[in-house]
Chains A and B, each alone.
Chain A
């Protein structure tokens, strides 16, 4: 708790933090609320109505899938927050002032857990409000039957942030950290995945992390295996990858001079 309050003191008057937080909220709201008004082209009469995606319980799947895109913003924010510590040399000062390397890292991990929790709570509240308005039949069974998507979203966001923490620590400079964060997750890994057999490529870090919540539109064409629960093997692997990113970050901190 003490560590979290110190970390919050570092960021609560930081304009960049509020810009990213605001952008995240705005983008999720915008995309989530605009989609129902778009009429998708498709085989006439063959489409499920978009509306079904916005009622309980499917709304959890739809919403967490959309919010997943904007984990990117949170990741970039975390890269900035950690590289600031190197840029300002406050890592060094925090240690001189009395923290151990482990204290410093623990504070950062607590912060990213906190950020992931905040966004998850936001997503949960948004889903509740929208769902209650849009759904015709409301009973607790239908509301919560796919609530595990919200848990999956939390783990997914956390994994992104662990990777961002690792990238920021590895490169120390915000620009380079962000570029490698984006390049790896959006280009390098998909390219590698292309060349590898599917059994392997499905479990590369980012493919795995995004597989946690499938595109809900797959339900349309009936290929989704993920109708009710995202708590599958990808969930387990996401946790494992998060752990690996954190251990790698810890090793970087202890092996080199701060």
Chain B
């Protein structure tokens, strides 16, 4: 077990940012913390990284088996890239290395990994947001840590930069490292994570394997002259999960198990209704996310 969190809570005055958050992260997993902005992702990570005091609850890294400060075995970025503005990229990483208690021989190699080698002697304040973000990832990777904590690592990057960072995360995960990734972007979590917890307004709505949380995601859109009858029949289908009428007056059907277009067409035909419109659609991840968070309310 890499990290175990029990009933973590945080209040800022009247505002409760976290309620009773509990989850645990296994070694070697890529754990996503998914939630909209302001849902408590950064607060949770800030607490386990020792910069925010929890109002209640406990957490333990490495099952408390580490005598040294556990943060030395973790590489982390929290919220924004935090560096001395007037120092060069290289000097900033030297300071991080000094605090970690490691040498400087890794710095050049890491700067190459994040594509900042030719800017290493430039001041941090001259960097673009994407470069700052990449430098913070470099800093997290510097000590070759067992655990990486990445809070919105692709924030502010262009599409190519986003793809590069995701590639990097997957490569690192393949080396058997544990990665904790907070993100408000579902596809990011879906693409790189093995496990996830979904946070909404400071509460965990669901957690588990990504394939279970973001399971079947097909919907079939149908339309017929007699929409009332269509809706009634749809609800009677044994595999149906939900029937909703969308903005264009069409019915959206989602299923417990994958069902083909042909099967559903045949079903309606046998029940004596002719479907005038039938489209299989991948439900957008956003829609799924909204569904999850709506259920959490």
A contact set with B: CB distance below 8 Å: 2, 5-6, 9-10, 13-15, 84, 88-90, 92-100, 255-258
Residues of A within 8 A of B91 (CB): 9, 13
- Nearest 3 interchain pairs by C-beta: A93-B82, A89-B82, A98-B72
User: Which residues from chain A contact B72 at a C-beta distance below 8 Å?
Assistant: 98
Residue from the set A15, A88, A256 with the largest chain B CB neighbour count within 10 Å: A88
Known A97-B96, A257-B46; contact A84-B71, beta-carbon cutoff 8 A = no
| B contact residues around A2 at 8 Å (CB) | 98
A96 and B98 form a contact (CB under 8 A): no
The count of chain B contact residues (Cβ–Cβ below 8 Å) is 30
Q: Which residues of A sit under 8 angstroms from B80, Cβ to Cβ? A: 89
Complex partner residue of B51 from A13, A14, A96, CB under 8 angstroms: A96
Which residues of B sit under 8 angstroms from A256, Cβ to Cβ?
Answer: 53
Q: B192 on the interface (CB 8 Å rule)?
A: no
**What residues of chain A lie closer than 8 Å to B83, measured between beta carbons?**
88, 90, 93
Please determine whether B98 and A257 come into contact, CB atoms closer than 8 angstroms.
no
Residue of B at shortest CB range from A6? B98
Given contacts A2-B98, A5-B98, A6-B95, contact A96 B87 (CB under 8 A): no
Cα-based distance from A162 to B46 in the complex (angstroms): 28
Instruction: Determine the distance from Cα of A90 to Cα of B69 in the docked complex, in whole angstroms.
Output: 18
Contacts of B88 in A (CB 8 A): 13
**SS class, residues of chain A in contact with chain B:** helix
CB of B99 closer than 8 Å to a CB of A: yes
**A14–B82 CB distance below 8 A:** no
CB of B82 within 8 A of CB of A92, answer yes
Given contacts A15-B86, A84-B84, 18 further A-B contacts (CB under 8 A): A2-B98, A9-B98, A10-B87, A10-B95, A13-B86, A13-B87, A14-B84, A88-B82, A88-B83, A90-B83, A93-B82, A95-B51, A96-B78, A97-B71, A97-B96, A100-B50, A257-B51, A258-B52
Query: B174 at the A/B interface (Cβ < 8 Å)?
Result: no
Q: Which of B53, B82, B84 contacts A10 (CB 8 A)?
A: B84
A-B pairs with beta carbons under 8 Å apart, 29 shown:
A2-B98, A9-B95, A9-B98, A10-B84, A13-B87, A14-B86, A84-B84, A88-B82, A88-B84, A89-B79, A93-B82, A95-B71, A96-B50, A96-B74, A97-B71, A97-B99, A97-B100, A97-B139, A98-B69, A98-B99, A98-B100, A98-B101, A99-B99, A100-B50, A100-B69, A257-B46, A257-B52, A258-B51, A258-B52
B76 at the interface (CB under 8 A from A): yes
Which residues on B are within 8 Å of A, measured CB to CB? 46, 49-53, 69, 71-72, 74, 76, 78-80, 82-88, 91, 94-96, 98-101, 139
Distance to closest chain B CB from A50 (angstroms): 43
* Closest Cβ–Cβ distance, residue B101 to chain A (whole Å): 7
A9: nearest residue on chain B (CB-CB)?
B95
Residues of B within 8 A of A92 (CB): 51, 78, 82
Set of chain B residues within 8 Å of A96, measured between Cβ atoms: 49-51, 71, 74, 76, 78
Residue of B nearest to A84 (CB): B84
B82 touching A90 by the CB < 8 A rule? yes
> In chain A, what residue has the closest Cβ to B45?
A96
Q: Which residue of A lies closest to B72 (CB)?
A: A98
Shortest CB distance B122–A (Å)? 13
A116 to B79, CA, bound (A): 36
* Residues from chain A with Cβ under 8 Å of B51 in the complex: 92, 95-96, 257-258
Assembly CA distance A6 to B82 (angstroms): 16
Q: Which chain B residues lie closer than 8 Å to A13 at the CB level?
A: 86-88, 91
- Find chain B residues with CB under 8 A from A10 CB: 84, 87, 95
